Chains A and B, each alone.
Chain A
């Protein structure tokens, strides 16, 4: 009967073409508005590392106290003192510190001028922790961290710009006057949002060009080009004075694979903060956090409010379209009360009438979905009018969104048809046939 109902449903699209067109337009516009805004929301609210997001944690230690922290919450980054102390304690199987650096590089060609490139100073665990994919070579080891090697991992794009895409592992590159040895070239890797270096930064900026050794960067006194937040005295006595200030600027990450490890690390953080209190460095009770990736994204409020608001507005618009569709479907179905009476007289059960009209609604929903796809494709070019460029460029009509558009359209229309189809199934054949 499925194909029979489908035939009847498709045939009904041709019947009352104006009514059908109205419904298809209502669904098409409603679903397109929803899908366009959803594509942005999906891009900004998705899990950037789903396979490990519950194993990667950001430890936070309140180094400012209740008078200066943000509504009781520790800052999203650590001071150098705390960061190094946590790393030295090495209570997690894998750990890294991250800070942003901007260096100058000389692209290929005699006429080239130095350009500014942005990357991060990280530790060797960074690469396996975040499953960074490599085109050539690999990251560096913990021993290299200790040896303060001048290793660098560069991005595929940077490798293309400097070496024309050739395998550059083993070659040297000069960044801001310092020579670095390339140990790895990453395959394109640009998780969005850029969760690993998110604190006070644009979560949707361009991909990193390179990664250098954290210890080496400190040795070279490479400035932090990312966020830096301080409390109290802002006058520092040179590089060392800044390192030992209460300024927070280092993003710590630890990988904890079991719940026991998580419990242990929390206890360690509490104990560390308590030690600092006892030592007189912290004049407040321990105030620490250990957030996994999704908790961290929520804490950093990564989803732009305009994305959430526009999605809600679009869904509201879609709901209104569906309410109109309910009315139109009801009118369409009840105009055929006579036919329903005949079908009932000829042996159709109420369930069969119900199924027939739901299938007809599915056909309308499918047509609305096709229109919605077209409008979504057109609307994608207008996303930049609503959102910043970094965010707008994340919205794309890929296969999954196309499938979702059709599925939402069909399911929503079928849901909207529950009541009209129920009414159709309740038609009393005797009354219809008598009135004829």
Chain B
């Protein structure tokens, strides 16, 4: 579903080159729920924006659902984002002037879908996240957890092949975070491929597989002596 090979991302200024990702390799199979973890500045958000075709990369290869994306123009990238990818952001990123219905409708509008089909998909997505009764509410009238559910509904409405989540519970309290996480697990059980960036070990432990990013590279913590102790401790905490 998502395969990056020797991928690199370099930010260049006149005097310095900064590697955000370096020889980055990842292979996410269809139907997997993968958590990408790592400290701040490790490159996990850069990975997510490149995975979501929001940013280009400097070198390497990236295949998304079998398509090599490096040579695609803006229109083609936008089309893939719209049809194959659903985004869930830490800050929800709902449009404040649009009500819940209209927010969920945004990606469907860009797909050129007919009104009746849009409405059916929107209501189904809102039913799924338990917010059908709030369709006419504006984001400011909802709690943080509800806003994130709307964002999930927006991501689901277009039936994407891949869900990319960036710290989806980062702005939520524990109870709301639990609800959102259970929803993601439910979506995964129904067959969705989910890649979630988080620095929360508890959240990461709920995923099928963890990928750790350090200094712009994927690292196997279990085999890296520098992190072995910390990793074991963190895993123990999650199990207990």
Contacts and interface: CB of A to CB of B under 8 A. Distances in A.
B75 A346 contact: no
Interface string A343-368: 11111111110000000000000000
A432 to B, nearest CB: 9
A346 B49 contact: no
A342 interface: yes
Interface residues of A, number: 25
Interface string A412-436: 0000000000000000111001101
B107 to A, nearest CB: 4
B110 interface: yes
A342 B93 contact: yes
Interface string A9-36: 0011001000000000000000000000
A347 B111 contact: yes
- Main SS of the interface on chain A? helix
Given A346-B106, A347-B82, A347-B110, A338 B93 contact: yes
Contact of B54 (A4, A339, A430): A430
Nearest to A429: B54
Contacts of B74: 349-350
B29 interface: no
Question: Which size class do B's interface residues fall under?
Answer: 20 to 34
Contacts of B75: 349, 351
B43 to A, nearest CB: 12
Interface in B52-95: 52, 54-55, 74-75, 78-79, 81-83, 87, 89-91, 93-95
A346 B110 contact: yes
B79 A347 contact: yes
27 contacts: A1-B112, A4-B109, A11-B97, A12-B97, A339-B95, A342-B106, A343-B106, A344-B54, A344-B78, A344-B81, A345-B52, A345-B54, A346-B106, A347-B78, A347-B79, A347-B111, A347-B158, A348-B110, A349-B75, A349-B78, A352-B78, A429-B54, A433-B49, A433-B89, A433-B166, A434-B45, A436-B89
Interface of A: 1, 4, 11-12, 15, 338-339, 341-352, 428-430, 433-434, 436
